[in-house]
Amino acid sequence: MSLPDEAARILRQRGIDPDDYDLPAREFDPAHWRVEQQELALDAAIPARFAQVEPTLPAVLGWVERFVSDPRRAPSVLLTGPTGSGKSHQAYGALRAAVLRCVTRGRNVTWRAVTHPDLNAELRPRPDGGSVGLDRYLGADLLLLDDLGAGRQTEWTGDSLHRLVDHRWSNALPTIYTTNLNARDLTAAVGARVVSRVGDGLLVVMEGPDRRRGGGR
């Protein structure tokens, strides 16, 4: 049984001869294939600690429903709470659920996930004068920015963070934020202008002991 043209083209791009590929004994389903590709991309981007997690909080589940219905009308989300209260679990679960449910319905969405410290590391100029830059985060349909306020700020990274947050707020692009800082400390860390825009959305306050100490996520 020969491969569909689209699948054969992708295999050739990866250096695989389609004639040597053992096609499973089922008809190629483009919709199922797209879901599988998104699952692979999510698995590669989401930290192993949060692989396959699902959102459980009603507020977060409700936000997923709103995003799937209309990404441009869904608000951003700010998950706050003490260290180990499960903010990242809910955030990565929401990202995964939103992306997969969209693609299942035939709607492709672009998405990115990054921690604030990793974002700062990417933005800092390299010895060769280059940097990763903000472009891939600015226009994504959905962005997860984990651990906001944990990144060590410089004038450059601070300006870049404001540009990112302001662009996404101005263009109604939903972002999932997490932070373990209270409003005062977060303002001291990233500035009032960033906090004002980050807070203009759904606020989910999480409480409880540090789940990591008990072996939880």
Q: Is the whole model's pTM more than 0.85, yes or no?
A: no
The answer to the question of residue 9 being in a domain is no
User: In this model, does residue 2 exceed pLDDT 50?
Assistant: no
The answer to the question of residue 156 being in a domain is yes
The answer to the question of residue 198 being in a domain is yes
- Asked if 100 contacts 35 with a C-beta cutoff of 8 angstroms, the reply is yes
Instruction: Give me the number of domains the chain comprises.
Output: 1
The answer to the question of residue 32 being in a domain is no
- The CATH number that applies at residue 96 is 3.40.50.300
Pairing of strands 77-80, 142-146: unpaired
CA 197 to centroid of chain Cα atoms: 18
User: In this model, does residue 215 exceed pLDDT 80?
Assistant: no
Rounded Cα gap, residues 150 and 148, in angstroms: 6
Given this model, what pLDDT does residue 156 score?
84
Burial class for 202, CB neighbours closer than 10 Å (0-12, 13-18, 19+): middle
The answer to the question of residue 17 being in a domain is no
Query: What pLDDT, in 10s, does the model give residues 70-127?
Result: 998 999 999 999 998 999 999 999 999 999 999 999 888 999 999 999 999 888 766 6
In terms of average pLDDT, the best of 12-26, 115-129, 192-206 is 192-206
The answer to the question of residue 110 being in a domain is yes
Instruction: Quote the domain boundaries for residue 136.
Output: 46-210
